[in-house]
Structure 1
Amino acid sequence: MRLMPRTLILIALLVPALLPLQACAEQPQASNPREAAVAATHPPGTAIASAHSLATDAGLEIIAAGGNAFDAAVAVSATLSVVEPISSGLGGGGFFLLHDARSGKDVFVDARETAPAAATPEAFLDADGNLDRDRSVNGPWSAGIPGLPAALVHVAQTYGRLPLKQSLAPAIRIAREGFPVYERMARGYAARRGVMERYPGTRAVFLADGDTVEEGELFRQPDLARTLERLADGGFDGFYRGETARLLLDGVRAEGGQWTAEELAGYRVREREPLRFDYDGWQIVTAPPPSSGGVALAQMLQVLAPWDLAALPQGERVHLTVEAMRRAYRDRTFYLGDPDFVEVPVGLLTDPAYAAGLRASINPDRATPSDTFSGRPTPLEDEETTHFSIIDAEGNRVGATQTVNLLFGSGLVAPGTGFLLNNEMDDFALKAGTPNAFGVMGFDANAPEPGKRMLSSMTPTFMSSPDRVAVLGTPGGSRIITMVLLGILGYADGLSAPQVAALPRFHHQWMPDAISIEKDAMTPEVVAELRAMGHTVNVPGEEVAGGRRSSDSWGNLQTVSWDRRSDTLEGGTDPRNPVGKVGIRPTP
Structure 2
Amino acid sequence: MRVLFLAFLVVTSPLRLWSQSADAVATAHPLATEVAATVLHQGGNAYDAAIATHFALAVVLPRAGNLGGGGFAVIHTGGGEAAALDFRETAPASANRESYLPAYSSLSSLRGISASGVPGSVAGMWELYARFGSKSLSWPELLQPAILIADTGFAITPFLADLLNRYQEDFVASEASPFWPPHTWIAGERLAQKALAETLRDIAMAGPDAFYQGVHAERLIAWSKGWFTPEDLGTYRAIWRNPLEGRYRGQKVFTMPPPSSGGVALLQLLQASEQWPMGRSWDAHSMHLFAEMAQVAYQDRAYYLGDPAYMEVPAEALVDSSYVATRFGQITLDSHQSLLWEQMHEHLESHETTHYSILDSDGNAIAVTTTLNGLFGSGQWVDGFFMNNEMDDFATQPGVPNQFGLIGYEVNAVAPGKRMLSSMTPTILVSPTGVKTVLGTPGGSTIITNVFQVVLHHVRYGESLQKAVDHKKLHAQGLPEVLYYEDGALSKRQIKALERRGHSLEAWKQIGRFQAVSSLEVAPDRSRSGDSTGWIKRQ
TM-score after normalising by structure 1? 0.85
Is 1:142 the counterpart of 2:115 in the alignment? yes
Among 189, 194, 198, the alignment partner of 1:217 is 189
> Over residues 181-218 of structure 1, what are the superposed CA-to-partner deviations in whole Å (9 max), with x where a residue is unaligned?
2233233233332321x4426x723026x734333211
TM-superposed deviation, 1:448: 1.0
TM-superposed deviation, 1:386: 0.3
Among 249, 253, 256, the alignment partner of 1:280 is 249
The answer on whether the counterparts of 1:25 and 1:498 sit within 8 Å (CA) in structure 2 is no
1:114 alignment partner in structure 2: 90
> Over residues 346-392 of structure 1, what are the superposed CA-to-partner deviations in whole Å (9 max), with x where a residue is unaligned?
1221111111112321111110113x35559xxxxxx4010000110
% identity of equivalent residues? 38
> Over residues 404-438 of structure 1, what are the superposed CA-to-partner deviations in whole Å (9 max), with x where a residue is unaligned?
00000010112xx1000000000000001111011
The answer on whether the counterparts of 2:32 and 2:53 sit within 8 Å (CA) in structure 1 is yes
2:165 alignment partner in structure 1: 190
Among 352, 357, 360, the alignment partner of 2:326 is 357
1:497 & 1:75 partners in 2: Cα distance?
Answer: 25
Among 438, 442, 449, the alignment partner of 1:482 is 449
TM-superposed deviation, 1:337: 0.1
1:213 & 1:108 partners in 2: Cα distance?
Answer: 39
1:245 alignment partner in structure 2: 217
The answer on whether the counterparts of 1:121 and 1:430 sit within 8 Å (CA) in structure 2 is yes
Q: Structure 1's 311 and 200: CA in aligned 2 closer, same or farther, altered over 3 A?
A: closer
TM-superposed deviation, 1:153: 1.2
TM-superposed deviation, 1:528: 1.1
Q: More helix by proportion, 1 or 2?
A: 1
Letter in 1 for 2:208: F
Is 1:91 the counterpart of 2:68 in the alignment? yes
2:391 alignment partner in structure 1: 425
TM-superposed deviation, 1:313: 8.8
Letter in 2 for 1:557: F
1:283 & 1:58 partners in 2: Cα distance?
Answer: 30
> Over residues 253-282 of structure 1, what are the superposed CA-to-partner deviations in whole Å (9 max), with x where a residue is unaligned?
2xxx52101110100000000001111121
TM-superposed deviation, 1:494: 2.2
The answer on whether the counterparts of 1:45 and 1:569 sit within 8 Å (CA) in structure 2 is no
Letter in 2 for 1:553: Q
TM-superposed deviation, 1:100: 1.9
1:29 alignment partner in structure 2: 16
Is 1:100 the counterpart of 2:100 in the alignment? no
Is 1:47 the counterpart of 2:41 in the alignment? no
The answer on whether the counterparts of 1:47 and 1:391 sit within 8 Å (CA) in structure 2 is yes
1:211 & 1:54 partners in 2: Cα distance?
Answer: 24
Aligned partner of residue 124 in structure 1, secondary structure:
coil
2:143 & 2:177 partners in 1: Cα distance?
Answer: 24
1:440 & 1:469 partners in 2: Cα distance?
Answer: 32
TM-superposed deviation, 1:87: 1.2
1:570 alignment partner in structure 2: 522
Letter in 2 for 1:570: V
1:342 & 1:220 partners in 2: Cα distance?
Answer: 44
1:230 & 1:347 partners in 2: Cα distance?
Answer: 41
2:196 & 2:15 partners in 1: Cα distance?
Answer: 38
2:499 alignment partner in structure 1: 531
2:269 & 2:517 partners in 1: Cα distance?
Answer: 23
Among 173, 195, 198, the alignment partner of 2:148 is 173
Number of residue-to-residue matches in the alignment: 519
TM-superposed deviation, 1:571: 3.3
Q: Structure 1's 432 and 55: CA in aligned 2 closer, same or farther, altered over 3 A?
A: same
1:66 alignment partner in structure 2: 43
- Equivalences for residues 109-508 of structure 1 within 5 A: 109-127=85-103, 135-160=108-133, 161=135, 162-196=137-171, 198-200=172-174, 204-207=177-180, 211-253=183-225, 257-310=226-279, 314-370=283-339, 372=340, 383-414=351-382, 417-467=383-433, 468-492=435-459, 493-508=461-476
TM-superposed deviation, 1:299: 1.1
2:4 alignment partner in structure 1: none
TM-superposed deviation, 1:315: 1.6
2:478 & 2:255 partners in 1: Cα distance?
Answer: 22
TM-superposed deviation, 1:126: 2.9
Aligned partner of residue 310 in structure 1, secondary structure:
coil
2:58 alignment partner in structure 1: 81
2:397 & 2:426 partners in 1: Cα distance?
Answer: 28
Aligned partner of residue 584 in structure 1, secondary structure:
strand
Letter in 1 for 2:159: R
Letter in 2 for 1:82: V
2:255 & 2:400 partners in 1: Cα distance?
Answer: 28
1:138 & 1:574 partners in 2: Cα distance?
Answer: 32
Q: Return 517-526 or 569-578, whichever deviates more.
A: 569-578
Aligned partner of residue 47 in structure 1, secondary structure:
strand
> Over residues 424-466 of structure 1, what are the superposed CA-to-partner deviations in whole Å (9 max), with x where a residue is unaligned?
0000000011110110010100011111000000000011112
1:455 & 1:574 partners in 2: Cα distance?
Answer: 29
Q: Structure 1's 185 and 26: CA in aligned 2 closer, same or farther, altered over 3 A?
A: closer
TM-superposed deviation, 1:311: 5.7
Once superposed, what is the RMSD of the aligned Cα atoms? 1.9
1:553 alignment partner in structure 2: 510
The answer on whether the counterparts of 2:392 and 2:402 sit within 8 Å (CA) in structure 1 is yes
Aligned partner of residue 178 in structure 2, secondary structure:
helix
Aligned partner of residue 24 in structure 2, secondary structure:
strand
2:253 & 2:22 partners in 1: Cα distance?
Answer: 23
TM-superposed deviation, 1:150: 0.6
The answer on whether the counterparts of 1:69 and 1:392 sit within 8 Å (CA) in structure 2 is yes
1:586 & 1:361 partners in 2: Cα distance?
Answer: 48
The answer on whether the counterparts of 1:29 and 1:496 sit within 8 Å (CA) in structure 2 is no
Letter in 2 for 1:357: T
TM-superposed deviation, 1:235: 0.6
